Chain A
């Protein structure tokens, strides 16, 4: 244990030290150049390591993945569009896509609604209790999906009838005199997928709440006052005065959550590994790569994901340009 710890500390220091030395050396190198060239070249030296990281870890792999998606399982021969047609033609993959769409439709909207509701309600408490309530709801954000998986097992766990139930939901159900339900295998109307979504909501509603609450507090009091003088009800004030003014934040949260949900992996992987028809694209990708060792399928799945993200990317860039123009 001691040796392990010392080793770990040395590794950390070496890694961090290497990064610091890199910049020191880069800076010394540029300063060797004659004055005018120093100023011209320096910006590129400052951004070079960042772009090296981005090029190696995003741009090159993105191109390579597109290439692999047209090749066979071990990337040794071209197969054309066969990976795509095989995936889209299989019933199980279409189910996987459907589940993913279900997540995309439900989770971002539910996150916004719950986050907004809690933000508005907590805003009416005394500052002390408001802070406590917000911390309680924000806290699961610090918990990993693996941790959340262990936590939620005690909600969804199932034992045979006549045995004591360890899961809270089944304790309630059997307490009311019914037979225990195998929650995670209950696929009627994709019920089990919704149960997994509840875990994600539990984990990230706090994030939405914090951002939305800050935005609500930023709404100028004069506008609320004016609406009240005009005789608007609280509900009208919320819908017509507050919501339009925090719309930018709502969109930001919505996009952030949507992107997170599109590539949801760990909660499903830990809870069901995609079994019982709860599979999503992220888990399918992982299993194609590491259970079936099929690079072609895995790459094709990622390419589809990239295509799905493209509209959001375009929106982001446009939004950024509009913002910069105002600045």
Chain B
């Protein structure tokens, strides 16, 4: 019996060794495809990434060049004539921030985008809670209505709303765009939140009810904290969308004291006599906030997007 014991103890080890090696070879096949494809895949991805980043890189370089350099030679000359490196400057940023009033527009963009993100999340979360956890006549019909409105282009709203806004003297104010973005983002937000909330365990809500919690308490204490992934991903999406929006801002605010940064930069492009260095500096200022939001919160964003798609 004794000789079999080591064999018996070795056998599982051996089995484990072979299973890991087979798993490894399988993974090699997965990641490497057909062996030689690997360097080619690497090279292709590298080239694609370069193609994707070069345009933005050119903008960044141009924004640091002085007026003469930026308007008389391509940005890549920075690398061919090293003397121009010493002429790189922050002046254009200073100039657009103060003289072209991009600083004001930058603050306006925050004043527009923050409420236009927060308020629809709040309103949609309440509605989604009702759709997911409450029973009431008309629930299914109303939700189908939300689904069908998902694809309606927001252009439909512009002509009639301009008339209403005109009557109430809302045109040109922040609430004019907040309300518009609340309306336009609402159906998507309810759709995403409700789909997410309906995956939460119903027993939790039931037990909260038994403990005497009202719907209002359950919503704030239980459902909102548990729905953070869905809320965050929509909030990021909505923030990027509102910050980057040009059409709604042009229609309901227009140029002037309350204009967001997209309109301000569009104005700069229109006055090209000012020079490329200013346009590019303005362009970069307009991009920096969404890029920071995107890079720091990318994880939530992707998780929310993929969660939605796996279902949809």
Contacts and interface: CB of A to CB of B under 8 A. Distances in A.
A61 B183 CA distance: 11
Interface string B42-60: 1011001100111110110
A286 B247 contact: yes
A295 B163 CA distance: 11
A210 interface: yes
B170 interface: no
Interface residues of B, number: 118
Interface residues of A, number: 114
Interface stretch (A86-94, A98-106, A184-192, A264-272): A264-272
A23 B126 contact: yes
B161 interface: yes
B300 interface: no
Nearest to B111: A8
Interface string B114-141: 1100111011101101110011100100
Contacts of A15: 115, 119, 174-175, 178
A124 interface: yes
B160 interface: yes
B72 interface: yes
A137 B131 CA distance: 37
Interface string A248-264: 11001101000100110
B122 A20 contact: yes
Given A54-B183, A57-B180, A154-B59, A270 B309 contact: no
B246 A215 contact: no
Nearest to B268: A150
Given A146-B283, A285-B155, A53 B107 contact: no
Contacts of A138: 294, 298
B184 A57 contact: yes
B6 interface: no
Contacts of A259: 151, 153
B159 A295 contact: yes
B306 A214 contact: yes
Given A171-B74, A224-B30, A316 B148 contact: yes
Contacts of B160: 60-61, 64-65, 68
Contacts of B127: 46-47, 49-51
Interface string A144-183: 1111011111110000000011111001000000000000
Nearest to A258: B151
Given A146-B283, A151-B59, A124 B157 contact: no
Nearest to A152: B55
Given A58-B187, A164-B72, A270-B266, A262 B153 contact: yes
Contact of A136 (B29, B53, B184, B187): B53
A154 B55 contact: yes
A211 interface: yes
Nearest to B217: A27
B302 A143 contact: no
Interface of B: 26, 29-34, 37-38, 41-42, 44-45, 48-49, 52-56, 58-59, 62, 71-76, 103-104, 107-108, 110-111, 114-115, 118-120, 122-124, 126-127, 129-131, 134-136, 139, 142, 144, 146-161, 174-175, 178-180, 182-184, 186-187, 190, 198, 214-216, 240, 243-247, 250-251, 262, 265-266, 269, 276, 279-280, 282-284, 286-287, 290-291, 293-295, 298, 302, 305-306, 309-312
Given A50-B123, A214-B305, 19 more contacts: A4-B107, A31-B214, A53-B186, A54-B186, A58-B154, A61-B157, A62-B156, A121-B44, A136-B52, A139-B295, A150-B265, A152-B55, A154-B58, A171-B76, A215-B306, A228-B29, A253-B309, A282-B155, A286-B247
11 contacts: A11-B111, A12-B115, A54-B149, A61-B158, A146-B283, A153-B276, A249-B309, A289-B159, A302-B159, A317-B147, A320-B144
A-B CB proximity, top 9 nearest:
A57-B183, A144-B244, A150-B283, A142-B294, A50-B127, A15-B115, A64-B160, A8-B111, A214-B306
